[in-house]
Amino acid sequence: MPTRNVVLTEHQATLVEQLVSSGRYQNASEVLREGLRLVEQREAEDAYRLEALRTAVQTGIADIDAGRFTSFDSAQSLRAHLHSLTGKVTRPT
């Protein structure tokens, strides 16, 4: 494995030391690898969510282009429609 030098803040260095001292990790490298694994996991989850959002937008655009949408002339009629779909209405605060 390649060796890297990293600069940590005092807080980060203390946290690494505490995690190693607790016995949860054997050394600082394990702590940093775990942190990087979590960053990698979060990045993958964000990419998945972004792709799902893009797909939903494309579906919405296709529905609008095909005329599959409903227009509402008031907030009350929109609330009534949402209530019919979910059975729940949230009131604006």
> What is the per-residue pLDDT across 15-52, written as a single tens digit (0 to 9) for each?
999 999 999 999 999 999 999 999 999 999 999 999 99
Number of domains present in the structure of the chain: 1
Which residue, among 20, 42, 40, has the nearest Cα to 30 in the 3D structure?
20
Is residue 3 assigned to a domain? no
Task: Quote the domain boundaries for residue 51.
Answer: 10-86
Is residue 2 assigned to a domain? no
Is residue 1 assigned to a domain? no
Higher pLDDT, 90 or 62: 62
Q: What mean pLDDT, rounded, does the chain reach?
A: 94
**pLDDT of the residue at 88:** 65
Which residue, among 62, 40, 60, 64, has the nearest Cα to 52 in the 3D structure?
60
**% of the chain surpassing 90 pLDDT:** 83
